[in-house]
A and B are shown apart, each in its own frame.
Chain A
């Protein structure tokens, strides 16, 4: 048989590609449930460790059932939405909404009056799509409120979980992770030495104005040098863009929760 002819070459390539595609789809479908379970367990482990509970892949799910007190989804005004599960809220599309709103706000500065109203209504309709998941976990007899955050690092997405004490202000613990940050530099955000200093920091000032957490450049002790021990932590040397992205992520995500947090705090007084 002539294996060099045009027809043969075409048929050969087509058949090969179809066979390979079929086999790949088969593997992907077969392995998907296991992969999804891995992602779910990773999320659970992150939530648990933000409260300070160490877990393994094996016991994560049972520990989560044990420690989870409540979980719900909020709208941007801070009201609980019925019938939505916190665990099912995907953060990536939520981040897209945040960035879309930011873009429009940039445009607002240059817009004339007629445009302004249009842009404002766009912002409002985008804001309505925001969904804010909240988890409440108990550890050592104390309850903690856990807020998932997500944003942009240098190369790709970064995300994390912030657990607050029930004063709705003080950070009890944080967990950060990343997809593709630079090893040894930006990737250090998932290390304990970076996460530990967040403990005890406050996201509101004494007058209950939202301050978020600031990240200070300049090596160890730069937050203290800047006189900001209440709301500031040290950035990662050499990982400036990741650190800045993390700071923006905390600000952008936590600010959506401020109506809820203030409401809770006032109710508790």
Chain B
């Protein structure tokens, strides 16, 4: 397999755990708090960020030898902004409901530090194919956390999964259970991300900082 060498595969899988953009690098937290009330917008957001990240990586990687280093940050921003506007327009045209829920957060993908970080750290120094994989990997790492958080917030906050009333169907309400309003509010997303980081570090010891 020349398409996926073991190094390439690492580009895809590393960001899921060891180099996860949210739980290890702690980037892109803002949108992780904002769009994780329900699963559907969280998934659309993950796909959007992954698409923008992957294509921005490829474009910057293709241009990497031509970009004047003095304006490279601006060139990166132009490319990201361009892709984000395209994604926003597509969402408005084909998934109008979800685009309304995501509202400003699609536009704010531009300021998502994960994207700038990957362009600067990876795409500027690597060939298009590995850059693409790096983009997909990091997008997936971001999306994975978003979806986990959204799952718990939607389940305990609204009692639904993808809008399907799970708790109502299994009769939890009739024995006096109530939805937890705190789950809907942003602080709970932070707490869930914290719990995920805790679990991840207790499973992967290498991530724990040495006491100096």
Contacts and interface: CB of A to CB of B under 8 A. Distances in A.
Nearest to A23: B82
Contacts of B150: none
A183 B37 contact: yes
Given A17-B78, A20-B78, A42 B68 contact: no
A9 B75 contact: no
A131 B172 CA distance: 51
B96 A13 contact: no
B93 interface: yes
B93 A28 contact: no
A31 B89 contact: yes
A31 B85 CA distance: 12
A8 B68 contact: yes
B67 interface: yes
A259 interface: no
Contacts of B93: 31, 34-35, 38
Size bracket, chain A contacts? 20 to 34
Nearest to A24: B85
Contact of B82 (A24, A35, A179): A24
Interface in A220-267: none
Contacts of B144: none
Contacts of A268: none
Contact of B89 (A4, A20, A27, A179): A27
B75 A16 contact: yes
Nearest to A38: B96
Nearest to A33: B93
Nearest to A13: B71
Interface in B63-90: 65-71, 74-75, 78-79, 82, 85-86, 89-90
Nearest to B94: A34
Contact of B78 (A16, A42, A180): A16
A17 B70 CA distance: 16
A28 B184 contact: no
Contacts of B89: 27-28, 31, 35
Nearest to A184: B184
A12 interface: yes
A180 B82 CA distance: 24
Contact of B70 (A9, A31, A34): A9
B69 A4 contact: yes
A62 interface: no
A13 to B, nearest CB: 6
A34 B96 CA distance: 10
Contacts of B75: 12-13, 16
A9 B85 CA distance: 25
Interface in A13-27: 13, 16-17, 20, 23-24, 27
A3 interface: yes
Given A16-B78, A35-B92, 19 more contacts: A3-B65, A3-B67, A3-B69, A4-B70, A8-B68, A12-B67, A12-B71, A20-B82, A23-B86, A24-B82, A27-B85, A27-B90, A31-B92, A34-B94, A35-B89, A35-B96, A180-B103, A180-B104, A184-B181
